[in-house]
Structure formats: C-alpha cells, structure tokens
Amino acid sequence: MNSRRFFLRVSLLSGGAMLIGGHEALAQPPQRGQAKPLDPNAFVKIAPDGVVTLTGKNPEMGQGIKTALPMILAEELDLDWKMVRVVQGDLDEVKFGSQSAGGSRSTPNNWDLLRRVGATARLMLVQAAANEWNVPVAECSTELGKVYHKASGKSVAYGEIAAKASALPMPNPDQVKPKESKDYKIIGKSMPTIDLPAMVTGKPIYSIDFKLPGMLFAVYEKCPVFGGKAVSANLDEIRKMPRVTHAFIVEGNGDVSSLASGVAIVAEKWWYANEARKKLRVVWEEGPTVTHTSVGYNAKAAELFNAKPAFAIRKDGDPEAVIASAAKKVDVKYTFPFISHAQLEPGNCAARYVDGKLEVWAPSQTPGRGLQMAALALSLKPADITIHQLRTGGGFGRRLANDYLVEASWIAKQIPNTPIKLLWTREDDMRHDFYRPGGYQHMRGAVDDKGNITAWHDHFVSFGEGEKFVPSSNISPGEFPANFLQNFAVEATLIPTAVPTGPLRAPRSNSLAWVIHSFIDELAYAAGKDPVQFRLNLLGEPRMVGKGMESYDAARMRAVLEKAAEVSGWGKRKLPKGTGLGVGFHYSHSGYFAEVAEVSVDAQKRVKVNKVWAVGDVGSEIIHPSSAKNQVEGAIIDGLSEMMNQEITIDKGHTVQSNYHQHQMVRMKQAPPEIEVHFVKSKNSPTGLGEPPLPPLLPAVANAIFAASGIRVRTLPMAKEGFKWA
C-alpha cells in the first residue's frame, strides 16, 4: 500500500494517551456529509496505566470479527492481550473505511490495513523510547506492551511513553514493516473471545436488548402479499387500547427493501403494542402479486424443461452432440426451494429523531447503506444521521437489507424527541424476508470408457425477467466445472416472480454446490469410478484455471480434497450396512473447502449424520483458531438445517410458513456427534470463514445417503422425498 493511499495520524489525548488511526483515503471515499476527507480513524488508544483500547470497526453478528480484527492490531503492537479492551465503533466510514459484514470480506479487506496501523504504532513507541535512552532504534525491541533495550537492561511500558510517541513525526508508511508470521504471538492463538462471558451468562448485549430511558415500543404490520399497500385501518379503535400512544398508516415508498406500506402501532411497552395489533383490521390493496404460487412456479419449471433454454450463460464445444452419441450418460433434474434466513434475533432497531437529526441503534450488516436509505426515505442529509452498531444475533445475509432500520427511523420521525424501539415478531421476520431463491436444474452429462467426463449441460431454470435474474438467483459463467471441460454449457430460462430475494450464507453456492457435486457423483457412479479419484481426475494437474474474479486454483482444491480423504479414511474403512461416505467440495468467497460425511440410513429413511470431516484453505493464517473452528462447525449445522426441513412456499402472493415449527432447524440430538476440522495453509493472504464451509456439506451428505441406501436425493428439502432425522 503506497503512502498516497494510506493515511496515519497520531494525536495526544488527555492524560498522556496515544491515539492512532489508519485510513485508505482514496480506496474509501468519504460518505458522511460534512466530514473532513482525511479525518483519522481511532483504532488504538493507549492509556497511561497500560490499558490499550482497540476499536472493532465492522459489524459483529457471531462471526467473531470483533475479536479477530483487534487481534491483528494487538499482534503488530506486541500487546499483552490481558491488557486489551475492545469497543465497538460507530458507523464512520471516513475514519474506518468500509464497515460491513458480508461475503466473508471482513478479514481480507482489513488484513493489510490493520497490520500496518499496528506496526506503525509500535515503531513510534520504539522511536520514543530510543530517543529517551539515546540509543539506536535497531537496538530496541518490544514485548507484551513494553519497549526493551536489552544491552542496557532498560525497559518502559507503552503507557509511560505514549505521550512522547504522540509528539513524533509520522514515519513513512512505505518503511513500516509488519511482522513476519514466525514472530506471531497472538495471531494463530485462541484468545478469549470478546463479549463471551456476557453472552454465556445472558447479559443484555444484543440489539434486541437495547433500551433508552423514556423509550416507546413499536410494531409494524405489513401486507401479507408482497408489495401490497395499506388503504385504511381501524386506527381510532387501536388508539383507545391500553397504553397505546400512536397508530398510523405508513404509505411507504414502493420498495419492500426500504419502506413497505404498513400500519405502525406504538405503545409504552412492546406487549401492549402487540396486543393492540391483534385487534387491527386493515384494508389492503394486494396488487398483482396475489396470483403468484409455488405450485405455479413448479408447473412452469416442468414446462420449461421441455422447451429450449431462453439464453446461454456459457457454451464451450458441443456438449449436446457429445451427450447424444455417448454410451454412458446421465439425465436428471434437481429442485431446491426458497428458504428463509431464520436468524435467531428477529428484525429490530431503535431510533430517535430530534431537531432534524436522526440517531439510530441498529443490528445491520451494511450500516453505511442503511444510513443512505434512511436519508433518502426521510429526506435527511446523511451528515444528520448517526448510526451506532450493535451486536447482532445472527444475520446470514438477511441484515444486508435495512428495511427494519428504515421503518424504525420513519416511525421515530413521526414522534420526535422520543426514542422508539421497533421489534418484529418471528412471524414478521419469516414472512417478510428476502429469501434464498429456489431453482430448478436439468442436468445432462456423459462419460467415456476411461471414466472421464466428456460433456456437461445444465438447463438452469431460475427467477427473473428476460435475461435479468432476481437477486442471488444467478449462476456464474465460471462456476465449476467450467474451464475444466471442453464440452460444457449452462443455459437458462427465467420465471417472473414478485417474491423478494437476497443473499443467504454463501449466496448461490449454498444451492449450486449441492446440484453440481451431486451430479458429479452421479457421473462418477455411471463411470464406475471412486468419487474422490473421479474429482481429482477432473481437477487435473495443479494449475490456475480461468481469469480474473473467476480464477480457480486447482492445486488448492486438490490439497483440501486429498486431506479430507486422508483424515476420513476414505476407501480404507469397512462400514456397516446402511452406512456410507459422501464427498463434496466447493470454492466460494475466496475459500477452498472439501468435506466428507459419514451417514447412516435405515429402511424407514431415517438419517443419522455420524461424523463430518471438513478441510479448508483460507490462506496463510488462521487468525483466531477457536472462532475459525466455530465458524466451520456452525456452517455445517446450518447446511444440515437447509437440507432436511427448510422450505418457503408461496400461496396467493404471500409466505405460508410463519415460524420455526414450519421451517425447522437441526436439533442438538440430530447434529453430528463429531465435526473434525482441519486447515491447509497456503501462501495467500487470509480470507474469511463465514461462508465457504457451508456449500460442500450438502452434496457430501446427499452423496453419503446414496452410498448408504442407493437412493439419490434430487429434491430439497429431503423431507419431501420421505427422509427424516433418526
């Protein structure tokens, strides 16, 4: 990073503390109205007593980034983690650069930046001590929050030297040298997770827990049919109900991702608002979406499979001709449903509007986008909005949208000078989600007499208009095994839908990996080949395949696949009847993962996942190992939930499912007794872990079910094919 793109400043704080910040000035343009272009971001504060306060800049929603990013700073500063305190930073993208959580990007976006911030702070502390002792900087070293001059036996704590360090000129950033990995003492170690004691003891640290004095509580009723509008309601009756303070119609702005039309009820306590809601009678203008149904979508897909695809996404060679003449071919159809994010904490947000300024406390994955949306919806200047980031009880992509933030802000503007807390019910959350899109794939392929894939054709029926997919429903031209086959085609036809869609953990990959690697398994069995060796043959020699954003490192994928086969004892263990191993791998969000599942299936189609082995390559460093392991385990459990029971169906333009009893999570007794996690390190900068471990799980389990029972899973959720948990 050159000096024109990296800005650092040190300033003296009261009591002799040291404040150090970093900013990618050109890479992250200011987004906060009147803020100065190079206003520094205060990542590090060193107090005279030696306590160091580090700022967690990105949203924390269970992915552990509030611990991992400060660990990078602490490592480069040579701190004693016991003396570190971490605070959550408010939204200020002038100070901090981009502040978002999505796409497993928090680690790769901040790895170099935070290392240089910490290394610069350490260099300045060393320079201050060297000046004090009149010795060369090269003779000084640091450890556990102190500077040492071992030749003279002198040492000084950071807190004692911070004020003098703050008066020094800023070193040239190009001369700042972050540590080598061999010298790491914090990165790669499982440090105590920030907020963990509060979490396990039930302290009110989540957004849903947030309260202010004098706060009123709101509920928001939206039309069950997507895009519908409120025409009238029995508001006079509602306003007379106990402790209700306000009730009014919100016209909305026609955008369900921003401010859908609805009715707001505000009361002294949330219970009173929700009780009043039960008496609410609204006349809705439902609109054209009322004609949409899942039954209709399914029928349309079946019809389209018998027709020529509407357009090509990619076509190499002549797969149709090869398949037509092949001796061994596979022709099958896969179906997967819409599903909800179903995060534990339902939508909520607090807001207060005073004298033309808005203050918001939000659990958003994209607070910067939320600020812009609120400014537009409320006709405010972005500089007049302050957003405080609160810990979130899960997101999985749902909180990339900010509808709950805009709704709370709108309600607060109607009741100025009073803090308002909007809280959705679980039913609100599930019936007004931005769902993982469903889809249909007609897969055809051929193998030759040597057991190699010779052709691949995917008629991908998804949702959208013409050639424009709805959000998160598309397939990339470079999706595996593109670039690995000479005769390869993906063609598509789209079905119009009014169902709101959006990214869900490992967007697109969470469904595509299941289809792709289940189909590869079908081709392997058609060829009479071992499924692992079949995949290794397909990957071929270690090399980079594809270009740009769609480049694919066959060497990294081979390494994790070979390791997964090794640790699982693939092909070396005799399994009892009714038990099988299945494998899957996938590259998504810069992570390479392979997984093997051992599954038992009985005659009643009762499924037990006995164990899962997961092997991943997310670069050269695993910053926080215990959190990394937790992310992999969580992704696997999440994937199992998606497989068996989760489905969103549409009837007359609205969502049928309302709560977890209809969109079930895996129970503890249904989860694998053991999940074994391994990492293969490579010479690449660290990348994220929130998403890449999930996609391979689905095909690994589905393929294991086939190995155990001879039954191929081609429809999700599996319950629709008669499967259930043992």
Phi-psi region of 139 (alpha: psi -120 to 50; beta: other; left: phi over 0): alpha
Task: Tell me the torsion sign for CA atoms 107, 108, 112, 113.
Answer: negative
Residue 238 contacts residue 282 (beta carbons within 8 Å): no
192: left (phi over 0), alpha (psi -120 to 50) or beta: beta
Q: What CATH number has the domain spanning 3-197?
A: 3.30.365.10
Sign of the Cα pseudo-torsion (395, 396, 400, 403, in order): negative
Q: What are the φ/ψ torsions at residue 527 (nearest 5 degrees)? A: -85, -10
State the residue for tokens 């694998």.
Answer: 672
Contact call for residues 33 and 52 (beta carbons, < 8 A): no
Q: Which CATH code for domain 213-287+342-430?
A: 3.30.365.10
Q: Are 415 and 401 in contact (CB under 8 A)?
A: no
Q: Which fold would CATH assign to domain 294-339+435-497+506-725?
A: Aldehyde Oxidoreductase; domain 4 (3.30.365)
Per DSSP, 132 falls in state H
Per-residue model confidence (pLDDT) at position 271: 98
The pLDDT, as a whole number, for residue 22 is 37
Cα separation, 691 vs 618, in Å, equals 11
Beta strand extents in 212-254 (DSSP E only): 216-222, 229-233, 244-250
Write the pLDDT tens digit of every residue in 370-412.
Answer: 999 999 999 999 999 999 999 999 999 999 999 999 999 999 9
Token representation of residue 722 = 């008669």
pLDDT on residue 370:
98
The beta-strand segments (E) located in 590-667 are 591-601, 606-617, 650-651, 654-655
- Residue ranges, CATH 3.30.365.10, the chain: 3-197, 213-287+342-430, 294-339+435-497+506-725
**DSSP annotation string for 426-449:** HHHHHHT--BBP-EEEEEEEEE-T
- Predicted local distance difference test score (pLDDT) of residue 173: 73
Instruction: Please tell me the distance from the alpha carbon of residue 239 to that of residue 277, in angstroms, as a whole number.
Output: 11
Residue 420 CB neighbours (<10 A) = 26
Those residues with Cβ within 8 angstroms of residue 71's Cβ, 6 or more apart along the chain or in another chain: 81, 186, 187, 191, 623, 624
Left if phi > 0, otherwise alpha if psi is -120 to 50, otherwise beta: which for 631?
alpha
How far apart are the C-alpha atoms of 83 and 98, rounded to whole Å? 27
| Global confidence as pTM | 0.94
Report the DSSP beta bridge partners of residue 699. Answer: none
* Of 177, 258, 561, 558, the residue nearest 434 (C-alpha): 258
Helix ranges restricted to H, 352-508: 367-378, 403-414, 426-431
- Distance in angstroms (rounded) separating the CA atoms of residues 113 and 96: 10
Q: Which parts of the chain register pLDDT below 70? A: 1-42
Which among 391, 420, 146 has a CA at the least distance from the CA of 273? 420
- Residue 3's pLDDT is 35
